[in-house]
Structure 1
Amino acid sequence: MKKVLIFTILLITGLILSQFIPYILRDSFYSFKTFLDALLYISLAFIMINVGREFEINKKQWRSYTKDYMVAMGAAAFPWILVALYYLFVVAPPGMQIWGNGDAWKETFLLSRFAAPTSAGILFTMLIAAGLKHTWVYKKVQILAIFDDLDTILLMIPLQILMIGMRWQMFVILVVAVVLIWVGWKKMNTYTLRQDWKSILLYSFIMYALIEVLYRMSTYFFGGEGSIHIEILLPAFILGMIMKGDHSVESNPVDIKVGNAISYLFMLLVGMSMPLFVGVDFDAMAAHSSSMISRIPIPSWGVIILHVVLVTLISNIGKLFPLFFYKDRKIGERLAVSVGMFTRGEVGAGVLFIAIGYNLGGLLLVVSVLAMCLNLLLTGFFISYAKKLAQDALLEEVSIAE
């Protein structure tokens, strides 16, 4: 619970700082923003490498995971789609008719993807602390949460392609993605690489540097419209995936502390990367914005809070998808799995940061960030309820056996 509380505080702190730093730094803000983005990408790569390291399946029995992957895909898709539709048909004023614009659909579906991924790291840690490590609920959640994150990462590729448009760069990104996925599957848990925090941080820096060099070189030769920008989520995940598991590192107190510190830093940086929305003339900004969803008028804070609560509710209703499967288990266990997957964290924040990179902002971004903060605040309640459901199911099994 402490980790979740720190995540929330840092995300909100970063959000507050983002509204003052541009005024304080003025002309130096661009240099600061460049440095901030570099730290963000390196931190995100560090986190995603560790998520990839947790991805372990028996390739010889891959068919047995088909149902789990489909369930995880549904658990990621329904919150995403429901939030996107809410943004398009409820948050956007009817007069704008934003729902009839193709660009608005693309932008909304990219931004609302933040609602899809479960935070595997937070979830696993809190379920173990709750004493559920050896239960069916934990074992099932462990598979679904990783598949959930993987599905989010993979779906970012077509979303990125939609944002770029039908240009030759699209095919480069697609080829790179296909090759990475193929390498990840063929070489899963193959390479014995150093996995202490210093090594993973070094891998993250090198990966960021390579992607940035490719982006800058393509921009230099082909201009901004012809640049090739590969999101760091997939390459970092695949690198972690091909590493042979090193359980000694997982239990090392220093590695755990540094890993947590980088996650904390990442949440703070995501908050600090938010665009200005305090003291801004949104009418003038909307008139010059190329983003359709950024033109949605900003309502009162009371209306914003209502949207935040409803987005949080809608996204978690979508996460109840696993409840309709695994009928051989008690409904309490299935509900425990679903509620456990309500947890959000670094991957969702990473999606928001990527959306900002496409100049998506305004009301929908503010609602998305605050909804993530609210969901983080509720994480302790979610896990406590999942624990109660799992323990009740276990006690029922014991009483039947007796």
Structure 2
Amino acid sequence: MKKVLIYSLLLLLGLIGSQFLPALAGDHYKTIFQFVLPLTMICLAYIMINVGREFEIDKSNLRQYGWDYVVGATAAAFPWIFCCLYFIFVLIPSDHWDAWPVWKESLLASRFAAPTSAGVLFSMLAAAGLAATWVFRKARILAIFDDLDTVLLMIPLKMAMVGFRWQLAVIVLIMVVQLIIAYRFLHAWKLPSSWKAILGYSCILVLIVEIIHHVSMKVDQNVPIHIEVLLPAFVIGCVMRHPDGHDPSAHHHPDPAEARANTWISGTFMVLVGLSMPAIADTMRGGGGPEGLGQTVTEGALLAVTPSMDWGTIAFHVLIVTLIANLGKMFPALCYRKEATWQERLAVAVGMWPRGEVGAGVLVISLSYGIGGPVVVIAMLSLALNLILTGAFIWWVKRLLASADRAKANGLVPASTA
């Protein structure tokens, strides 16, 4: 757990830095932020390629993955729905409950609660020595489906903001093609697999994604083609052939050089995830985030109708939103009764709690569309609180798995359950 503690401190360091960086950097803040995002994506791509390298799929039993997608999508939908309803019916005066601009802005802003941070989760579980467990294997599938569903549902939300755009259909097509490639060529391509090669793939991938994004910005600032690097990086890992003599059912144990690289890149990723959080000043006023995703295109309804709040009231709402967002992630604990003990199922659900770079990206998009005010401040602080508590979540997961192991050793559950 020492590495988990270090990663947690690095997350906190980045989070603190994100609030002071705008004042320290001054006019150079946007330039610095434009470097932070690609570096974050490079580290995430590196982590996800390694996750994809160990991903196996039973093509003779594809129905189980359909159920996994339902569980992952539900784990993304419930927190979003809970937070949106809380924003509308608790924070917004009842006179505005029937206003569509308020609803569509709340639906977008509350989407921050949906995605589990796959990069943070996998790095933390590996750091805790849990990479060979059923929980890691199941969380790997659910977190990817969770983030995939988040990206897909962002498309109709963007349509609500700017109307139908052909760019949104292109994003869906690209995602479908990637999934087909991963399935058709699973571990079929013999590619260099050293940590340096994987880092190189990550850099090239992010460069391609950024070029597509910036070119599409020239076409329409409000609807750029933004490809989340998580999925293509995972696909690259999926198509990479296993080394000769590798046992697909066994966990890959990196050599010392690769292990050091993994640790350094994961640690850097933690700092960068913290730094990618929007500043409170930006979230309070709305009207555009540091990424500069285009012109303000909404009415600023949330900013206009949400009553002002003191910091004590905001802190109370942050705690409640964090609680209900994590409660929404608990559905996996009710599933997989034939596969795992209740401790392992609860561990998977708790493991889905960490949020990070994808949720921060949702808030940046919200800011770029002119959404701001206390609602977005509460969302941002809830995301930050979840980041700070990530180490505690992983500690709880480890305690639950230790309890499951003791129960199996004492014959309280069948040893083959997991």
**TM range, normalised to the smaller chain?**
0.7 to 0.9
| Distance in structure 2 (CA, Å) of the matches to 1:349 and 1:358 | 15
Distance in 2 of aligned mates of 1:77 and 1:145: 17
Q: CA deviation at 1:344?
A: 5.2
Among candidates 205, 213, 234, match of residue 231 of structure 2: 234
> In structure 1, what residue type is equivalent to 2:411?
E
SS in 1 for 2:128: helix
Question: Given the superposition, is the C-alpha separation of residues 65 and 40 from structure 1 closer, same or farther in structure 2, using an over 3 Å criterion?
Answer: closer
User: Would the aligned equivalents of 1:336 and 1:390 in 2 still touch at CA under 8 Å?
Assistant: no
| 2:327 maps to which of 317, 323, 332 | 317
1:110 aligns with 2:117: no
The alignment partner of 1:342 has SS state of helix
Give the drift of 1:109: 4.3
Corresponding residue for 1:204? 202
The question of whether the paired residues in 2 share the 8 Å contact of 1:126 and 1:383 is answered with yes
The TM-score normalised by the length of structure 1 is 0.82
1:41 corresponds to which residue? Answer: 41
| Matched residue type, 1:167 | R
Task: Write the distance in 2 (CA, Å) between the matches of 1:180 and 1:54.
Answer: 17
1:85-96 matched pairs, under 5 angstroms: 85-91=85-91
Deviations 1:61-96 (CA, angstroms, capped at 9, x unpaired):
323544444444444443444344444444556566
Residues 356-395 of structure 1: pairs in structure 2 closer than 5 A: 356-360=363-367, 361-395=376-410
Distance 1:359 1:73 in 2: 21
Residue in 2 aligned with 1:274?
Answer: 277
CA RMSD across the alignment: 3.4
* Equivalent residue letter for 1:261: W
Partners of 1:369 and 1:297 in 2: CA distance: 23
5 Å-filtered alignment, 1:250-329, equals 250-277=253-280, 282=284, 290=298, 299-328=309-338
User: Given the two structures, how large is their TM-score scaled by the length of structure 2?
Assistant: 0.79
Deviation of residue 206 (structure 1)? Answer: 0.7
CA distance in 2, matches of 1:383, 1:294: 42
Q: CA deviation at 1:283?
A: 5.6
Work out whether residues 17 and 272 of structure 1, in 8 Å CA contact, stay in contact via their aligned partners in 2: yes
Structure 2: runs of 5+ lacking an equivalent: 289-294, 368-375
Counterparts of 1:77-88 in structure 2, within 5 Å, are 77-88=77-88
Q: Structure 1 270/298 Cα, relative in aligned 2: closer, same or farther at 3 Å?
A: farther
Q: How does 1:212-227 map to 2 (within 5 A)?
A: 212-220=210-218, 222-225=219-222, 227=224
2:263 is paired with a residue whose SS is helix
Distance 1:155 1:284 in 2: 26
1:244 to 235, 241, 262: 241
| Counterpart code for 1:58 | D
Tell me which amino acid in the other structure corresponds to 2:167. Q
In 1, are the aligned partners of 2:5 and 2:391 still within 8 Å (CA)?
yes
Q: 1:98 to 1:49 in 2, by over 3 A?
A: farther
Count, aligned residues: 386
Residue number among 147, 152, 155 corresponding to 2:149 in the alignment: 155
Structure 1: unaligned runs, 5 residues or longer? none
The answer on whether the counterparts of 1:72 and 1:144 sit within 8 Å (CA) in structure 2 is no
The 5 Å alignment of 1:39-78 reads 39-78=39-78
Cα distance change on mapping 1:368 and 1:99 into 2, 3 Å: farther
Offset at residue 184 of structure 1 (A)? 1.0
SS of the residue corresponding to residue 115 of structure 2 reads helix
Distance across 2 between alignment mates of 1:107 and 1:54: 34
Structure 2 residue aligned with 1:32: 32
Residue 355 of structure 1 is aligned with which of 362, 365, 371? 362
- Change in CA separation of 1:302 and 1:128 when aligned onto 2, cut-off 3 Å: same
| 1:194 match | 192
For 2:394 and 2:316, how far apart are their aligned partners in 1? 19
State the match for 2:125 in structure 1.
Answer: 123
Distance 2:264 2:4 in 1: 13
How far the C-alpha of 1:384 sits from its partner, in A, is 1.0
Amino acid paired to 2:397: F
